[in-house]
Each structure stands twice: as structure tokens, then as C-alpha cells.
Amino acid sequence: MHFAFAITEYFPFGGAQREFFAVVTEMANRGHQISVITTGWRGEKNADWQYFILEQKSKTNHGRMQELSAYVIGLKRQHHFDAVIGFTRMVGLDIYYCVDNSYVATKYKGLKRLLPRYRAYANIECTLFANNDLKTFFITENLRKQYQLHLNINMNESVILPVCVNKSFQYTEQKWQTARQWRQTQLNHLSSIILLFVAADFKTKGLDRIIDAFKLLDKDSQAKFTLWIVGEGKAVKYQESLERLPEIEFKFWGGRTGLDQFYLAADYLIHPARVESAGMVIAEALAARLPIYVTDVCGYSFLANDDVESVILLDQYVVKELADSLQQLAKKSVIPDRGVGSSQISYFSRAEFCADQIEQWYG
């Protein structure tokens, strides 16, 4: 069968992008014909896949999404796709892999709803779900309930995705020992507590919140920590802010594959995200038995309840609560080697789960 997969932009290190690539690859391995619809592709291209890359003209994000929606509809008229599967919200999809909060439910109130940005995104969302034949993967049950309250959801054609991570992230004593040895080669002070931050979008995922929490610590406490930042975000202003806190060691690693090594080498993951419908980094970290500090707005924050060393922070008071937690951590005489992780995490392939479901829908 011929399946088209649509995403706003592909780059190798984003969470949604990794999910996208895994599902597309699984479907290709099963012998299906693959087309990709996007506005940009960073990374190697598969010679067996057909690429439709839209050159965009709009200067606004919502205008670009309108252009992409029109592009998808136009391509469907020109080509025989058995289905178009979208990893970004756009008009014209047959299957929507939903990892984002409902725009209608969560964005703007009152007169702000008259803004072109809101009207464009709300129209895309409402038009997408007006299709009674739309099939939807939801990342969490809470996300499905959010959409169900505000839009017409075909419950018989919606599926909740299991919390799955690659087995490479699963903790073993041997992998942990190897990562700890590597850790020692990276530190100036071997007694440092390594705090790990992993994100493609530094602002949305709260790097500034971490820095603001550091500012509330006394210098002796600041000196206990090393911050590792992994991701392709814009680093300049955050680096300048961290340089004004000379007691804290930090390193920007850029975008990385092989994140399991970082999870196993660090002492805590800090994920004070402003918006996070799920948060694969949360599941991956807990699979490696890395304790986490995470905001309650994250879809996968409930996993932290399984780990006694992990802390769920109230988004409304996140900086103060994070600072208090770090202050207590700095005073501990012994830092636990590992947490216990979460029993709610599975290690089978979610890409295989999705491929099985897509084939069931279109078999």
C-alpha cells in the first residue's frame, strides 16, 4: 500500500521527529510504498522514499500551516495515497498522531480569539476533526479526554498509545557502570551532582526556569551542581545567563543521538516544561532509573509517582519549588545512585504498535 507521512519539519533530534521516523521506517520495512510531505528535511534521505517538500511563502507560523494543509489536500488530488498520516495538526489527514494539546481547548480566551493566529489554528483543528472518518492516535488518555470535550471525536477510531521506550534506555548494572566511567572523564569535579536537561526547544521546556532556580541558591549550593544541556536549541542567551553564575559548571552538548549514555551518567533529569503533552524524555529517563524533576503539566508526569526520588513540580510555582528541591539535594550527604524507575513503561516497539494499527485500519 502507499502511505504518505506528513510533518511540519523533520530534524533528527526532536521527540516527535524520532517517533515519526520510527513509524515511517517500520512501515517501509513491511514493504509499503512511502511518501513524505514536509516543509524541510534535515538529515539523510532514504532513496526508496518519495519526498514532497513545500517551499513556503508565508511569514507567519499559522500562515505556513495553512499553506501546508493546502499542499496536503492538493497532493491527495494528484496522487493515490491509501492514507495520509500526520504527525502535525493539519487539514487533509486520514490518520492524526496526536501529541499536542487541543488549540481550541487551551489557547486564548475572550477577544484574543479574534486574532488571525487563533482563528487559523482553530480552523485547522476543527476542520481536521470534522472528518468523521478521521482515525487518531492519542499519546495519553487525558489528551483524548481534552479533545473529546471540545471537538467531535470518533471514539471507535481512536487509540491510546502505550508508554514505550527503546530497550536501549532500560537500566542494567553493566550499562550504568560503563556510563559512570565515561562520566568521570567529562567532569572537572568528580563530586558534582549532574543535572541533565534534554530538549529541542529550550524555552518551551524551561531551561530559563532552571537558571532562575539556580539564582535562588546560595553559592555553596550552586557549586555542587553541573548542568548538562543536550539539544539543538538556541544556546547564546542561556550561556550568557549561566556565565553570570560562576559557581555552576555547565556544558552545551548540542543535538545528540545515544541519549541513553547521558541518562545513565547523570544524577537527575530536570524537565520544567511549560507545555508537554507527553514527554518522551521523561519515560526514557525513568527507564534508565534516572530520577526526575518534572512539571505537573507534562502528560507523562504521572510516571514520576512511581519513583521515590523523583519530584513533580507545580507549574505555577515551578521556580521556587525547583530551587527548594535543589537546595535540599545540595545538602544531602549521599546522593542515591539510581531511582527505581516506573513499572508503567514498556519496552516493545511503539512504531510496531502503530504499524499494526495502521494495517488493521487499512488492511
Residues 6+ apart with CB under 8 A from 139: 98, 99, 161, 277, 278, 299
Residue showing cell 539564582: 215
What is the tens place of the pLDDT at every residue in 20-61?
999 999 999 999 999 999 999 998 999 999 999 999 888 898
Please give the pLDDT value at position 336.
87
Tell me what the mean pLDDT of segment 174-200 comes to.
92
Residue 363's pLDDT band, with cuts at 50, 70 and 90, is confident
What is the tens place of the pLDDT at every residue in 198-218?
998 999 999 999 999 999 999
Helix axes 236-243, 207-215, angle to 10 degrees: 10
Based on its alpha-carbon atoms, the radius of gyration of the chain, rounded to whole angstroms, reads: 21
Q: Give the cell for residue 193.
A: 551532582
pLDDT at 343 over 90: yes
pTM attached to this predicted model: 0.81
Please give the pLDDT value at position 53.
96
Q: Between the CA atoms of 250, 254, 258 and 259, what dihedral angle is there, to the nearest 10 degrees? A: 50
Three-class HEC string of 279-339: CHHHHHHHHCCCCEEEECCCCCHHHHHHCCCCEEECHHHHHHHHHHHHHHHHHCCCCCCCC
Please give the pLDDT value at position 48.
97
pLDDT at 344 over 70: yes
pLDDT at 111 over 70: no
Residue 270's pLDDT band, with cuts at 50, 70 and 90, is very high
How many CA atoms does the CB half-sphere of 231 hold within 13 Å?
A: 22
In order of start, what are the domains of the chain with their CATH numbers? Answer: 2-162+348-362 (3.40.50.2000), 167-331 (3.40.50.2000)
- Please give the Cα distance from 144 to 99 (Å, whole number): 10
What is the tens place of the pLDDT at every residue in 124-170?
999 999 999 999 999 999 899 999 988 878 888 999 999 999 899 99
Please give the pLDDT value at position 103.
86
Residues 6+ apart with CB under 8 A from 334: none
Residue showing cell 525547583: 322
Task: Name the least confident of 89-98, 143-152, 287-296.
Answer: 143-152
Query: Which strands sit side by side in the sheet containing 135-138, from one edge to the other?
Result: 50-53, 33-38, 2-6, 83-86, 95-98, 135-138, 158-160
Residue 14's pLDDT band, with cuts at 50, 70 and 90, is confident
Tell me what the mean pLDDT of segment 110-132 comes to.
86
CA 286, distance to chain mean position in Å, is 15
- Please give the Cα distance from 198 to 282 (Å, whole number): 10
